[in-house]
């Protein structure tokens, strides 16, 4: 069983955190399947969807601040050289003149999100997220009408070692065969850790690593 993390936002598709009329929804990379836990493998891609149940203009953003920028990264979709925004990251419901701009400074990086005055109820923006290193990551969601300095809520993830040893985007029998090939190996060490199969990095590939592996059986990173 995967651990259900006690975080500021859990099961976001079911219990969206809303400030005013705006909410965030975290899904798998397909943009439709809700993420049901926040402990994910390194290399996993997710989507963060910003939705509204009201009409009208809104501006806010999604940003990762230090010290978390080494653990996760946000991506926009389909940059438009004419509008100079990521047009693939804004839905029609956000309005004709909605915009998505990326920027970063010494302490944070992410995206400003601007809904137009003709925005209507629905999904407004979609930003992609990738887990790039082991550890915790915190994505701040900002409503600029509330504060431009502090997020109104945070989406928190814990990144664990990948079980997709051959990096083909899914945990399956090929990965199990790799773990089996190192079974009872006692010489695992940094940085390879027996091709990643020593999941608890104690130098041995044993029953504990097998249990950690099966927790993510048939999981996909994309």
C-alpha 63/C-alpha 222 separation (Å) is 22
Q: Identify whether 8 is part of a domain.
A: no
Strand partners, 28: 46
Number of structural domains in the chain = 2
Residues 156 and 177 in one domain: no
Q: Any alpha helices (H) in the chain, and if so which ranges? A: 173-181, 207-214
Q: Identify whether 139 is part of a domain.
A: yes
53-87: b (≥16 Cβ within 10 Å) or e: eebeebebbbbbeeebbebbbbebeeeeeeeebbb
- The whole-number pLDDT of residue 36 equals 84
Structure tokens, 25: 């929804």
Residues 152 and 182 in one domain: no
Residues of the chain whose pLDDT is less than 50?
Answer: 1-20
Domain containing 90 equals 17-160
What's the CATH number where 155 sits? Answer: 2.60.40
| The total number of residues written for the chain in this structure | 222
Q: Identify whether 9 is part of a domain.
A: no
- The whole-number pLDDT of residue 17 equals 40
Residues 111 and 200 in one domain: no
Residues 73 and 129 in one domain: yes
Residues 183 and 97 in one domain: no
Residues 131 and 26 in one domain: yes
Residues 58 and 140 in one domain: yes
C-alpha 27/C-alpha 15 separation (Å) is 13
C-alpha 66/C-alpha 75 separation (Å) is 17
Q: Identify whether 5 is part of a domain.
A: no
Residues 83 and 138 in one domain: yes
Residues 74 and 48 in one domain: yes
Q: Identify whether 10 is part of a domain.
A: no
Q: Identify whether 167 is part of a domain.
A: no
Residues 103 and 195 in one domain: no
State how far the alpha carbon of 78 is from the alpha carbons of 17, 84, 113, 149, 206, in Å: 27, 10, 15, 28, 45
- The whole-number pLDDT of residue 37 equals 80
State how far the alpha carbon of 193 is from the alpha carbons of 40, 97, 139, 207, in Å: 19, 50, 30, 16
Is 155 buried (19+), middle (13-18) or exposed (0-12) by CB count in 10 A?
buried
Residues 68 and 125 in one domain: yes
Q: Identify whether 129 is part of a domain.
A: yes
C-alpha 70/C-alpha 141 separation (Å) is 18
Q: Identify whether 219 is part of a domain.
A: no
Q: Among candidates 70, 110, 105, 65, which has minimal Cα distance to 86?
A: 110
Residues 134 and 178 in one domain: no
pLDDT digits (tens, 9 = 90+) for 31-61: 889 998 879 999 999 999 999 998 999 999 9
What's the whole-model pTM score? 0.87
């Amino acid at each position: 069983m995967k651990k259900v993390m006690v975080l500021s936002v859990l099961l976001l598709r079911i219990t969206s955190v809303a400030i005013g009329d705006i909410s965030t929804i975290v899904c798998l990379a397909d943009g439709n399947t809700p993420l049901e836990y926040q402990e994910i493998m390194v290399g996993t891609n997710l989507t963060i969807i910003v939705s509204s149940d009201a009409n009208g203009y809104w501006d806010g953003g999604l940003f990762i601040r230090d010290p978390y920028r080494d653990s996760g990264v946000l991506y926009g979709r389909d940059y438009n050289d004419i509008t100079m925004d990521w047009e693939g990251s804004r839905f029609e419901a956000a309005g004709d003149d909605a915009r998505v701009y990326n920027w970063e400074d010494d302490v944070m990086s992410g995206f400003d999100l601007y809904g137009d005055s003709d925005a209507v109820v629905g999904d407004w923006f979609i930003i992609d997220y990738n887990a790039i290193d082991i550890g915790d990551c915190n994505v701040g969601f900002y409503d600029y009408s509330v504060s431009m300095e502090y997020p109104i809520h945070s989406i928190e993830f814990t990144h664990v070692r990948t079980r997709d040893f051959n990096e083909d985007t899914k945990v399956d029998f090929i990965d199990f065969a790799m773990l089996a090939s190192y079974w009872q190996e006692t010489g695992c060490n940094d940085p390879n850790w027996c091709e990643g199969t020593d999941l608890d990095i104690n130098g041995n590939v044993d029953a504990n690593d097998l249990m950690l592996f099966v927790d993510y059986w048939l999981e996909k990173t994309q």
